[in-house]
């Protein structure tokens, strides 16, 4: 059995209006992450990562050796943070201005090696670049390393350079993120006919997964099974409206976990609230599961891109400990499946979903320990 034993999260529900870009929009922005960034010495992803690199978790890993090997995976969403911060021709006093003086420092694989060294005794280091699916896609790597290659501990760090001008302009131009000009009539929501979408958000998550061993800390949750699938789609930025990618991921995770679909009563959706995702994810869930309730966190904390899948899963675990499954914010329709009101916590395993550009769909099944 694979257990989640320690984790730390960082995010904000507060929003800030970013107005000095072609598509002004609110973002879930942690201002402190931009201090010293303008000097090119410390970039926002590094500073976000520092908020979850909990000294107690690092000490736990160092002081509690496992019988087998230890791996470190950085779920970064992309191969490099360089070039995503190119405000060279903009006002240096602008809120998102920072430039890359040390390009190598922004390569995610080099950063992964730097952080892995903090934990000591790491036998495997890798990075993942599957966009917004990244932190949930690596659950498949966790189970593979631990079930097939003699690893007893896998450390996951997920963070991305999410609130920068390039990302905001891309999501703004594509209409995926909610723009300021639309906010008078529309609020962030998912699976709704009136409100839609999300704001971009900063977030990070650190998680430790372990096999059971003598002296292991009390576990938080069990990872029952994970699977990442693709769908046949000529548009790598889009989604098929039949939900084929989501369905393949869900059914793959059920197969790996050896769980009947009727056992899954709770879903943490990808839940971007875009029209195409609303259709695809809803169809896939109704096809692949039976009776369930579903919620979404992107409308509360923003879309944290690479971090979103695992970060939102950890937030859900905390809500479950508080005996509540929160409603999807700003729903305008009564819905007891895609929740328009808070709900009780159903028994049994729960499903977590994520999707990334490039036709990547990830699903993971967890249960509280």
Q: What pLDDT is stored for residue 41 in this prediction?
A: 61
Q: What pLDDT is stored for residue 85 in this prediction?
A: 46
At residue 206, φ and ψ (nearest 5 deg) are -120, 130
Average pLDDT over residues 195-224: 92
Residue 120 has pLDDT above 70, yes or no: yes
Residue 68 CA: distances (Å) to CA of 71, 139, 149, 203, 369: 10, 19, 9, 31, 22
Q: Is 156:205 a contact under the CB 8 Å cutoff?
A: yes
Q: What pLDDT is stored for residue 22 in this prediction?
A: 86
Please, which pLDDT band fits residue 88 given cuts at 50, 70 and 90? very low
What pLDDT, in 10s, does the model give residues 238-256? 789 999 999 999 999 999 9
CA 53 from chain centre, in angstroms, equals 17
Kind and range of the H or E run holding 280: helix 275-288
List the chain domain ranges.
2-211, 225-368
- CATH number, domain 2-211, options 3.20.20.370, 3.40.50.1370, 3.40.47.10, 3.40.640.10: 3.40.47.10
Please, which pLDDT band fits residue 39 given cuts at 50, 70 and 90? low
Is 156 in a helix, a strand, or coil?
Answer: strand
Q: What pLDDT is stored for residue 279 in this prediction?
A: 96
Please, which pLDDT band fits residue 103 given cuts at 50, 70 and 90? low
Residue 92 has pLDDT above 80, yes or no: no
Q: What pLDDT is stored for residue 148 in this prediction?
A: 97
Nearest to 108 by CA among 90, 129, 122, 87: 129
Average pLDDT over residues 67-73: 96
348 vs 90, which has greater pLDDT? 348
Q: How far apart are CA 154 and CA 170, in angstroms?
A: 33
Residue 83 has pLDDT above 70, yes or no: no
CATH class label, 225-368 = alpha beta
Kind and range of the H or E run holding 143: helix 134-148
Q: How far apart are CA 220 and CA 186, in angstroms?
A: 37
| DSSP-derived secondary structure letter, 325 | B
Is 13 in a helix, a strand, or coil?
Answer: coil
Residue % of the chain over a pLDDT of 90 = 74
Sign of CA dihedral 260, 262, 264, 267: positive
User: Does 2-211 match 225-368 in CATH topology?
Assistant: yes
Q: What pLDDT is stored for residue 333 in this prediction?
A: 95
Structure tokens that stand for 170 in this block:
């891309």
Q: How far apart are CA 188 and CA 197, in angstroms?
A: 5
Residue 145 has pLDDT above 50, yes or no: yes
Residue 346 has pLDDT above 60, yes or no: yes
Average pLDDT over residues 173-181: 90
């Amino acid at each position: 059995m694979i257990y989640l034993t320690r984790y730390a999260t960082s995010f904000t529900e507060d929003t800030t209006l970013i107005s000095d870009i072609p598509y002004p929009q609110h973002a879930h922005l942690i201002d402190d992450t931009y201090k010293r960034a303008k000097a090119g010495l410390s970039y926002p992803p590094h500073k976000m990562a520092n908020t979850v690199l909990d000294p107690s978790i690092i000490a736990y890993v160092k002081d509690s050796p496992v019988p087998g090997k230890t791996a470190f995976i950085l779920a970064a969403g992309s191969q490099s943070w360089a070039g995503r911060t190119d405000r060279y021709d903009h006002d240096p006093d602008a809120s998102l201005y920072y430039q890359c003086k040390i390009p190598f420092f922004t390569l995610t694989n080099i950063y992964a090696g730097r952080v892995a060294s903090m934990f000591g005794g790491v036998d495997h280091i890798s990075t993942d670049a599957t966009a917004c699916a990244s932190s949930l896609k690596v659950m498949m790597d966790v189970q593979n390393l631990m079930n097939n290659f003699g690893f007893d501990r896998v450390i996951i760090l997920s963070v991305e350079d999410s609130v920068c001008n390039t990302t905001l302009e891309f999501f703004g131009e594509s209409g995926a993120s909610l723009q300021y000009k639309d906010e008078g009539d529309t609020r962030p929501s998912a699976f709704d006919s009136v409100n839609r979408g999300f704001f971009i958000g900063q977030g990070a998550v650190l998680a430790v997964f372990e096999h059971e061993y003598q002296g292991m800390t009390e576990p938080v949750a069990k990872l029952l099974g994970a699977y990442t699938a693709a769908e046949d789609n000529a548009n790598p930025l889009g989604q098929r409206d039949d939900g084929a990618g989501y369905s393949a991921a869900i059914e793959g995770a059920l197969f790996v976990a050896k769980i009947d679909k009727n056992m899954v009563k709770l879903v943490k959706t990808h839940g971007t609230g875009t029209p195409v995702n609303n259709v695809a994810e809803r169809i896939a869930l109704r096809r692949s599961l039976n009776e369930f309730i579903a919620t979404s966190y992107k409308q509360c904390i923003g879309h944290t891109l690479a971090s979103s899948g695992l970060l939102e899963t950890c937030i859900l675990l905390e809500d479950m400990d508080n005996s509540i499954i929160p409603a999807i914010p700003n729903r305008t329709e009564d819905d007891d499946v895609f929740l328009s009101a808070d709900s009780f916590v159903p028994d049994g395993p729960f499903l977590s979903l994520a999707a990334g550009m490039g036709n990547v769909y990830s699903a993971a099944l967890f249960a509280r320990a």
